[in-house]
């Protein structure tokens, strides 16, 4: 079979339309590589087929195009990522003519970004206001907490004082010396009363003011221990609730309180003796 016969055998059409079997197709490829006439005949039929096909085009549904291109956008990005290391020049060439579809995509992205930014700003403003509000509330709570802690400390201190007083009163080693205004004929206030708690072991002296008139600011009460008929200074004290610790007194037969100048006196002013009690 010569070339002309080969060309007219129908192999050209068969090959182009994909109807030739593998063996015939391989032979045709060899023949077209070797003979320009075969190649020309093939191209001629291809062009004819293409021309007629284009004339008989059927427009596909419009949405197909965007479906394909959104799919390809993903593929394109992947392709560019994969090839970036191989050739940066190639990447730039492939990227530079920004396609219509990509532009639209970018526009949407830009619009979405603006919306997100506006939303974000509004949220920031909202959250900043919330923050200010809660911050102020927090400061108030801290202040209140500090105040409560201070009150608690004060309560704790006074509770401690009461507990101390109570423990002295309960203590069985404690000698209780009740001093009364009624025991002093010359007492400026016969209703006065005070109690000495005297620890028999440690000889510590504690004083509880039951009822004494408040002195003027330049005067102070002074406790005296009467030892063998002589007064011994047991300390001055200010009017306060609870038990007051006085000076240690090793030995005494009685206790008395006089009103003296502030800071106390070396010897008691007998006319100002308010209370007296015997041990």
Contacting residues toward another protein, per CB under 8 A: 8-11, 13-14, 16-19, 21, 29, 33, 42-43, 45-50, 52-54, 56-61, 64-65, 67-69, 71-72, 75-76, 79-80, 90, 93-94, 97, 99-102
On the CB side of 227, how many CA atoms lie within 13 Å of its CA?
Answer: 10
C-beta closer to another protein: residue 9 or 113? 9
Whole-number CA gyration radius for the chain: 57
Beta strand ranges found along the chain (DSSP E): 174-180, 193-199, 205-211, 219-227, 230-237, 243-245, 254-261, 273-278
Measured CA to CA, the distance from residue 204 to residue 149 in angstroms comes to 33
C-beta closer to another protein: residue 92 or 147? 92
Q: Are 173 and 199 in contact (CB under 8 A)?
A: yes
**Cβ atoms within 10 Å, residue 201:** 8
Q: Are 194 and 257 in contact (CB under 8 A)?
A: yes
Q: Are 199 and 245 in contact (CB under 8 A)?
A: no
C-beta closer to another protein: residue 79 or 125? 79
CB of 113 to another protein, least distance (A): 22
Which stretches within 56-99 are classed as H helix? 62-83, 88-95
């Amino acid at each position: 079979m010569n070339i002309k016969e080969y060309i007219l055998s129908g192999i050209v059409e068969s090959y182009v339309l994909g109807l030739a079997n593998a063996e015939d197709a391989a032979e045709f490829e060899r023949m077209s590589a070797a003979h320009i006439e075969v190649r020309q005949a093939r191209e001629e039929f291809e062009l004819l087929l293409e021309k007629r096909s284009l004339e008989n085009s059927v427009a596909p549904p419009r949405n197909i195009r965007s479906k394909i291109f959104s799919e390809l956008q993903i593929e394109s990005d992947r392709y560019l990522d994969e090839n970036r290391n191989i050739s940066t020049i190639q990447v730039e060439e492939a990227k530079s003519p920004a396609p219509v579809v990509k532009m639209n995509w970018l526009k949407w992205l830009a619009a979405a970004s603006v919306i997100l930014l506006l939303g974000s700003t509004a949220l920031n403003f909202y959250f900043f206001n919330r923050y200010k509000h809660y911050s102020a509330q927090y400061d108030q709570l801290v202040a209140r907490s500090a105040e409560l802690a201070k009150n608690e400390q004060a309560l704790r201190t006074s509770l401690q004082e009461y507990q101390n007083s109570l423990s002295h009163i309960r203590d069985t080693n404690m000698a209780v010396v009740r001093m009364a205004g009624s025991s002093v004929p010359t007492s400026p206030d016969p209703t006065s009363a005070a109690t000495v708690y005297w620890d028999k072991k440690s000889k510590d002296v504690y004083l509880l003011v039951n009822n004494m008139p408040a002195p003027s600011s330049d005067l102070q009460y002074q406790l005296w221990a009467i030892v063998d008929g002589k007064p011994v200074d047991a300390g001055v004290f200010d009017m306060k609730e609870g038990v007051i610790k006085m000076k240690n007194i090793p030995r005494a037969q009685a206790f008395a309180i006089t009103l003296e100048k502030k800071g106390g006196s070396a010897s008691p002013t007998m006319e100002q003796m308010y209370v007296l009690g015997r041990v």
